[in-house]
Homo-oligomer: A and B are copies of this chain.
């Protein structure tokens, strides 16, 4: 009994050591284990002209360095032209299965007859990620995700990564498996954080070869508008070592965005203007410098994929 216990303890020690010695994602990228690495990522490109214009402007500051594109959305062509003219830009695809604004709607890239489970009664994508996930046939999801990637490539976009608008593809294991299968076949990294999932069932779909970040940081509706900069600054001052993606939403607080996001203050026009204001500010630049935070991109992460 005592011998068995000792043997078990020694195996446990070996395992712990193995885990401890396993290279972190920072180390795999060639940085020290204690490096603080940050991707500043703007979602929703292609959704609206205001989103495109604000994100391009933010790219020019160098402080926002990654973003992802919604292929089914009306302003895709505008951002595709930017992508062709700026092939070094770290642009991924924000795979989209929802159409959440009530005044501005969009639907699938693939032929509607083939993806009927993705449509609401008006023929657009569902308004919410829960409705989308509850109704989605995984085979139709795979068809649509592939169609979105093909349209992007046809327009000259060379995506560096994939993520999921409103997190629809994280809603259940069947959808998450489709997401991973599509990403692996494209050899593209996916927005996944080590501690993203509470469900071990979903987490079990991941393999050791998958490349993902340590954590994702995003603001919530609970933060008051006047505390916006403080929330981000505090979070960055307390940033743990490893790779963090801060997910932000940029646009100008103009009539168009107000129209698009009316009745939706969360992630609405003013919200996006506040994100734009902070992440293009000297205050943000100073926090990065003072806390030794280095910006990296999904392009670097993608190079780790075999």
Which residues in A have some Cβ–Cβ distance to B below 8 Å?
A: 48-50, 52-53, 73-78, 81, 102-106, 109-114, 121-123, 151, 154-155, 252, 254-256, 259-260
Contact = CB atoms under 8 A, between A and B. Distances in A.
Contacts of A252: 255
A49 B105 contact: no
Contacts of A48: 256
A104 B78 contact: yes
Contacts of A114: 111, 113
B49 A76 contact: no
Contacts of A155: 122
From A81, A102, A103, A259, residue with most partner B Cβ within 10 Å: A103
A12 to B, nearest CB: 56
B104 A74 contact: yes
A78 B255 contact: no
Count this chain's copies in the assembly: 2
A196 to B, nearest CB: 31
A110 B109 contact: no
B74 A74 contact: yes
A245 to B, nearest CB: 28
Contacts of A113: 111, 113-114
A75 B49 contact: no
Contact of A256 (B76, B112, B256): B256
A170 to B, nearest CB: 26
Nearest to A73: B74
B104 A77 contact: yes
Given A151-B122, A255-B254, A75 B52 contact: no
Given A53-B255, A81-B103, A122-B151, 4 more contacts: A49-B259, A77-B103, A112-B112, A122-B154
Contacts of A260: 49
Contacts of A256: 48-50, 254-256
10 contacts: A48-B256, A49-B255, A77-B103, A77-B104, A78-B104, A109-B123, A110-B112, A111-B111, A113-B113, A122-B154
Nearest to A147: B123
